[in-house]
């Protein structure tokens, strides 16, 4: 009698687990908020938007600059060109602020501080290829 009860119990657990798994596949999943973050953003991103960008495998370049930083303004052209070239892999956040900060952030939490005045397209590509999860073909060569 004990063996029969144990067999019925184990059988029912197996059947119910298969049914539960099937129902989970059919039910809509709440994936959280969806954001539409363009490649070049001229405002400060919210923490949720930053998390969304990084979770989608893209690299975030944060460029906070002051209006009197001429080197910062010159570097913006290189940064915008880089972001445009790697649309879908990079998000560039450009914000006028009271301080300067230029860094590249990868999905794994890697943060690389960049230095104004030493910004080149190839230098950005080298750093990007080291920290990016989703990589364009140029990184694989």
Please count the CA atoms within 13 angstroms of the CA of 133 that sit on its side-chain side. 14
Which of 118 and 53 is assigned the larger pLDDT?
53
Which of 28 and 20 is assigned the larger pLDDT?
20
**Cα separation, 94 vs 62, whole angstroms:** 6
Sign of the Cα pseudo-torsion (84, 133, 109, 35, in order): positive
Which of 113 and 26 is assigned the larger pLDDT?
113
Q: Residue 2 to residues 6, 8, 10: CA-CA distances in angstroms?
A: 6, 10, 12
The pLDDT, as a whole number, for residue 4 is: 87
Angle, CA 128 vertex, CA 75 and CA 45 arms, to 5°: 65
The pLDDT, as a whole number, for residue 30 is: 56
Residue 62 in contact with residue 101, Cβ under 8 Å? yes
Residue 107 in contact with residue 89, Cβ under 8 Å? no
Has residue 60 got a pLDDT over 90? yes
Taking residues 49-62, report their average pLDDT: 91
Q: What is the pLDDT of residues 83-134, one digit of tens each?
A: 999 998 999 999 999 999 999 999 888 999 998 778 899 999 999 999 988 8
Has residue 45 got a pLDDT over 90? yes
**Cα separation, 82 vs 36, whole angstroms:** 20
**Cα separation, 66 vs 26, whole angstroms:** 51
Token pair in block for residue 136: 């364009």
The pLDDT, as a whole number, for residue 122 is: 92
């Amino acid at each position: 009698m004990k063996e029969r009860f144990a067999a019925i119990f184990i059988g029912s657990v197996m059947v119910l687990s298969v049914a539960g798994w099937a129902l989970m596949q059919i039910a809509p999943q709440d994936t959280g908020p969806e954001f539409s973050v363009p490649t070049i953003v001229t405002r400060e991103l919210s923490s949720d938007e930053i998390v969304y960008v990084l979770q989608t495998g893209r690299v975030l370049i944060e460029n906070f600059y002051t209006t009197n930083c001429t080197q910062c303004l010159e570097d913006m052209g290189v940064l915008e060109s880089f972001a445009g070239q790697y649309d879908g892999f990079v998000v560039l956040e450009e914000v006028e602020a009271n301080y300067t900060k230029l860094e590249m952030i990868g999905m794994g939490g890697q943060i690389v501080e960049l230095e104004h005045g030493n910004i080149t397209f190839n230098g950005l590509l080298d750093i990007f290829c080291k920290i990016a999860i989703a990589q364009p073909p140029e990184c694989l060569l």
